Amino acid sequence: MIILALSAIVGTTKLITPYLTDLAHRDDADRFQYLASHLLLTTGTPKNWGQLESIVPSSLGLAKCDTVQPYELDIDKVTRLNNENIYSLDYSKLWQALGVKDASFQIEIKPLFQLSIELVSDSTQGSQRVYEFKIAARKSGMPLSTNLNSYVILKDFVNETTSSTSPDGVTTVTIGIPNSLHGTALLLVFAQATVNSQMVSLGMYSFGHNSQSPLPNGTFTRLSTLDYVLNASLKYATIEVSKAQVFTFSYNFSLNAKTQDDQTVEYDIPRLLDASPMVIVLTGVNGSTSFTEFVPYPQVPLQIGPDFSESIAGSRIAVYRYTATINSALYEVVTKWGGLSDSV
């Protein structure tokens, strides 16, 4: 099976090569399909360009190095497609690296199913404020049965709750936070489909605890991940980081600072064997204001490339959907292809 998988990747690469430069196929849907496969089945050049923050690839491919599994993507190559990451590549560089001068493309990567979180009620009960959340899991609009692991984080307080959705894909989660705390709290919900443990979706919900409203994520820090290192750029000199933690469906660890100066702190991220996205959470204070800020790793969902919904009427757009893995978890990859965009 390993030999067959490798043969499929190599064979696809050989088949694709003529389509990269042959302008005679510019309106051929088959060409775009080959290009989409090329993007997901090859590593690009250099093959480890995702981990090299200063490198722009000379050829574009998102596959993980030395993989024997087709459509296994590299966590850092994917993360560098997200423009919220300080190591991201803009679309023009990606377009040049693909090497197809007469076509434009869009890449969207997202979980295989959707997770929604709604705050239903909150009330003071003794020394705690108790919050009730409604959580719903849907795939293509249909309910999905899932197992849930939920975390609430505020300062040094972490509460973990396990539950599951009913057959209609809905459940409620109730958590209590001590009244002695205040600031922006974060609810993380990891949902694992009962039909396939590799189908995992992530929901994040910020809310104000004993404060008027939550502060937007990124108010105090800019968090970026690359090669299993978190870079935390502090936006104010008065910020004090109290704790860094990593969360997955099955694990929760505190992180130790690797390097630190006045405006930047770096943390090593463990390589956890869990079919799950990771979320790295920083808590701290800026003066009297406490914060809870986060970044997922890989940094998805994401979308990069021109908006084909605004393409010229009558132009033909080719759309190809794939299921790919990143760190053993499954994601949907949607690629769109069409004529050269004015934005390139």
Identify which has the larger pLDDT, 18 or 71.
Answer: 71
Sign for the pseudo-dihedral over CA of 79, 83, 88, 93: positive
pLDDT value at residue 339: 74
- Residue 92 and residue 28: Cα distance in Å, rounded? 23
Q: What confidence category does residue 8 fall into, taking pLDDT thresholds of 50, 70 and 90?
A: very low
- Residue 284 and residue 215: Cα distance in Å, rounded? 13
Q: What value does the mean pLDDT of the chain take? A: 90
pTM, to two decimals? 0.90
pLDDT value at residue 314: 52
- Residue 98 and residue 77: Cα distance in Å, rounded? 14
Residue 33 has pLDDT above 50, yes or no: yes
pLDDT value at residue 311: 60
Domains and CATH numbers, the chain: 2-109+306-339 (no CATH), 114-297 (2.60.40.1940)
Buried b (16+ CB within 10 A) or exposed e, 154-169: bbeebeeeebebeeeb
pLDDT value at residue 80: 98
pLDDT value at residue 24: 45
DSSP assignment of 55-104 equals PPPSEE--BPTT--STTBB-HHHHHTT-TTSTT---HHHHHHHHT-TTEE
pLDDT value at residue 18: 47
pLDDT, tens digit, for every residue of 166-212?
A: 999 999 999 999 999 999 999 999 999 999 999 999 999 999 999 87
pLDDT value at residue 344: 52
pLDDT value at residue 340: 64
pLDDT, tens digit, for every residue of 228-263?
A: 999 999 999 999 999 999 999 999 999 999 999 989
pLDDT, tens digit, for every residue of 53-89?
A: 999 999 999 999 998 899 999 999 999 999 999 999 9
- Residue 104 and residue 91: Cα distance in Å, rounded? 10
Q: What angle do CA 101, 103, 105 make, to 5 degrees?
A: 120
What are phi and psi for residue 198, nearest 5 degrees?
A: -85, -10
In the sheet where 157-164 sits, what is the strand order?
157-164, 146-154, 183-193, 200-209
- Residue 153 and residue 293: Cα distance in Å, rounded? 10
- Please state the rounded mean pLDDT for residues 139-153: 97
Question: How many percent of the chain have pLDDT more than 90?
Answer: 81
Residue 4 has pLDDT above 70, yes or no: no
Closest CA to 189 of 213, 168, 207: 207
Lowest mean pLDDT among 30-34, 37-41, 148-152, 232-236: 30-34
Contacts of 125 (CB under 8 A, 6+ apart): 176
Q: What confidence category does residue 317 fall into, taking pLDDT thresholds of 50, 70 and 90?
A: confident
Token pair recorded at residue 154: 């505020």
Contacts of 149 (CB under 8 A, 6+ apart): 160, 161, 162, 189, 190, 192, 249, 250
